[in-house]
């Protein structure tokens, strides 16, 4: 359940994750529950497929496709392609290209740095360098059961009125 406390926007979501030591698949469906006076919450869905980079056990490449169902205007669709790198036990880097399939919305490159606290106590980082083995060994994934879910935490909305503008915050 997601709430926008500055407005009365609210949505629900449900997701599916399939993971092993090399591949991750995440899929989510989002359903608007409550709109504010001037904004409408959009329904949508996304999926993300990520794979470890051979010999770089601390790096993944990914593709993430998303679609948001416009009510007062065209749907928003796009695909992000990029890489996630675990630099240190406390620092992640994501670099990607967001290819939006809608006129008027600019495609964009972005970089995101994430500080992780408390620091990870296991797993490879960029400090480990290049491995002699192409793929990570199969591992017991039970330690990942409480890891953070990959999903869009921003409520997608469109403004109501004579002009229609979308924002994602």
Query: Could you report the per-residue pLDDT of 123-160, keeping only the tens digit for each?
Result: 899 999 999 999 877 777 776 666 767 777 777 777 76
> For residue 60, what pLDDT band results from cuts at 50, 70 and 90?
very high
Query: Could you report the per-residue pLDDT of 16-37, keeping only the tens digit for each?
Result: 999 888 999 999 999 988 777 7
pTM over 0.85: no
**Distance between CA atoms of 18 and 23, rounded to whole angstroms?**
8
Q: What is the pLDDT at residue 111?
A: 97
Q: What's the mean per-residue pLDDT of the chain?
A: 85
Domains of the chain (ranges, CATH numbers): 2-168 (2.40.160.160)
């Amino acid at each position: 359940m997601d709430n926008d406390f500055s407005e009365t926007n609210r949505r629900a979501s449900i997701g599916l994750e399939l993971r092993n030591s090399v591949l991750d698949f995440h899929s989510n469906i989002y359903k608007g529950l409550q709109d504010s006076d001037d904004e409408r919450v959009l329904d949508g869905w996304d999926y993300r497929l990520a794979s470890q980079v051979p010999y770089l056990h601390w790096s993944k490449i990914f593709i993430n496709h998303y679609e948001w169902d416009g009510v007062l205007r065209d749907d928003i669709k796009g695909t992000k392609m990029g890489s996630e790198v675990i630099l240190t036990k406390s620092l992640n880097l994501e670099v990607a290209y967001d290819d939006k399939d809608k006129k008027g919305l600019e495609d964009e490159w972005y970089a995101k740095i994430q500080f992780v606290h408390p620091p990870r106590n296991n797993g490879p980082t960029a400090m480990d360098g290049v491995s002699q083995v192409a793929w990570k060994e199969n591992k017991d994934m039970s330690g990942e059961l409480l890891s953070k879910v990959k999903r869009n935490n921003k409520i997608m909305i469109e403004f109501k009125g004579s002009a229609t503008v979308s924002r994602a915050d």
